[in-house]
Amino acid sequence: MKFRISEKYRLEVHWAKVIYEQEGVAKLLNCYFSGPALKDAAIINGDDFISLDFAKQYIVFVPHYYIVKLSWGNVRQTSTNVDLDNALLTNKYVNSIPKLSNDDYIVIDTKNHEDDKHNFNITYPSYLIRFDGDLYTFGDN
């Protein structure tokens, strides 16, 4: 499976550590947004969330769409990142599919979320990337 995202619309989610403490939730410690999309992004509010659509990548594991809620508490803007406190990934399958590694990260395609399109697109196409920058291709041998 391949994916293409224009650099302008690339938003990344990184974390230092992922913890699975309860069913359906993955806690992301020292989590932050980075990438070129931040340059043109609206202000990212605290105590908010977005829905990440991993359907293309995880279709081999779940019987239907795999939409994960990424939520966070307070935010802090730095010169290159937006730090997210209390970041959580929530979905009933999050504990039963392959676990995230501390060195993995998520790439989000924000193309359809500019001001004039955002209200018509409720999810963000997203992809789990390995530490070395390669896309996980689950089920492909």
User: In the chain, how many domains are there?
Assistant: 1
Examine residue 107 and state whether it is found in any structural domain, yes or no: yes
Q: What does the pLDDT read at residue 8?
A: 86
Collect all residues with Cβ–Cβ distance below 8 Å to 64 and sequence separation of at least 6.
none
Sheet of strand 48-53, all strands in order from the earlier edge strand to the far edge: 17-22, 25-29, 87-90, 67-72, 48-53, 124-129, 105-109, 10-14, 31-34, 82-84, 75-77
> How confident is the model at residue 120, as a pLDDT?
55
Contact residues for 134 (Cβ-Cβ < 8 A; gap 6+): none
Residue 79 pLDDT: 87
DSSP structural state of residue 64: S
Give the pLDDT mean for 31-51: 92
Q: How far, in Å, are 24, 56, 57, 100, 111 from residue 139 at the CA level?
A: 22, 12, 9, 16, 27
Task: Pick the range with the lowest mean pLDDT from 18-22, 41-45, 83-87.
Answer: 41-45
Could you tell me if residue 136 is inside a domain?
Answer: no
CA distance 121 to 125: 10
Give residue 112's domain range: 7-129
- pLDDT tens digits for range 56-105: 887 778 877 889 999 999 999 998 999 999 999 999 999 888 889 999 99
Predicted TM-score (pTM) of the model is 0.88
The answer to the question of residue 138 being in a domain is no
| pLDDT of 141 over the 50 cut | no
Mean pLDDT of 2-10: 76
SS3 4: coil
Of 19, 89, 8, 14, residue with least CA distance to 54: 89
Q: What is the pLDDT of residues 105-126, one digit of tens each?
A: 999 998 865 555 545 568 989 9
